[in-house]
Structure 1
């Protein structure tokens, strides 16, 4: 499709995410939480893999589209509830994105590919699904690790980091180790991944 189609889709995804009532402060400025996440995902993708396809670019921006609309508390607050919530979110994000892509004129095949990626199908087997997962993990490690460290105990954090690490490719691992962490967090990461 044309650059205009991609631009229109991006604008609509941003407009949806800009409605997030939750905000996050970054470098003294306040942003709608999911808009900031979307921008981080896209920027990290282009930094990590500048030749990423248009489908992956859109999937990166729409990974959490309108996430605040499906509250975690709407599912049981246990492991099973968490997994059901995450599964529902994938469908919700892919459907919301598909509607936008249809509106701006993308083909059915392209839309199917983007929804496939957002639902993270064939992780470890599909190269683009793996690329998207690497970017999700890199964004988490760079921007969201520290808030988690402040929230959970050391053993829980080691488990979270270990699980994140196992989802990534070797290239993702190399990139993750280039991120500037605090000394404490770097020590925790090394402990969790056995370095």
Structure 2
């Protein structure tokens, strides 16, 4: 009989696998986008923590749960629209994950704690929320930064890097600086850090 933890991760990944959008991996294979994102999140958590607790592992795996169901385009343009969309996504992912956990045998308190991590309540004060944020920032810098930087105005991109950097722990900074980057991205990071 699978444990509550195994049941929950299986249920989360089954929902990720429903993402109709696909992404290519380094080895040429493709995966549903959110399943690839979730696996990358979990891989970074392994590098950040030698023994993360189950609830943090679940939260990290579920952070973008079914994100494609509510596209960014459903919200107004601009920062307020973006922040509202992101908040709503966190609430929905937290609620869905908490239900999956209860169904698998976790207590209401454990399920709600995981939802709180997913919603990023207490960033800067809660070490589990910080760990999730570190994973998200590292996944962005490693996998999406280069493409993103080609679509965004240079000065805006510098501000994005500065804001991303400001949300990361010292440990995550060290890991980020060791990432391989093309010349453009490396220059953006250098400029952002010199200007912060």
TM-score w.r.t. the length of structure 2 is 0.95
Distance in 1 (alpha carbons) for counterparts of 2:77 and 2:109: 37
Correspondence for 1:21: 20
Correspondence for 1:94: 94
Post-superposition Cα deviations, 1:101-146, rounded to whole Å, max 9, x if no partner, equal 0111111111111011001011111111111111111111111101
Distance in 1 (alpha carbons) for counterparts of 2:147 and 2:50: 28
How far the C-alpha of 1:3 sits from its partner, in A, is: 6.8
Distance 1:102 1:179, change over 3 A: same
Correspondence for 1:35: 35
Distance in 1 (alpha carbons) for counterparts of 2:2 and 2:128: 20
Distance in 2 (alpha carbons) for counterparts of 1:70 and 1:50: 34
Correspondence for 1:174: 174
Q: Look up the SS of the partner of 1:125 in the other structure.
A: coil
Correspondence for 1:7: 6
How far the C-alpha of 1:33 sits from its partner, in A, is: 0.5
Residues 48 and 131 in structure 2, CA contact (< 8 A), matched pair in contact too? no
For the aligned residues, what is the CA RMSD? Answer: 1.4
Q: How many residues align?
A: 194
Distance in 1 (alpha carbons) for counterparts of 2:151 and 2:76: 20
Runs ≥4 in structure 1, deviation > 3 angstroms? none
How far the C-alpha of 1:91 sits from its partner, in A, is: 0.5
Distance in 1 (alpha carbons) for counterparts of 2:191 and 2:66: 35
Correspondence for 1:152: 152
TM-score w.r.t. the length of structure 1 is 0.95
Q: How does 1:1-195 map to 2 (within 5 A)?
A: 4-27=3-26, 28-194=28-194
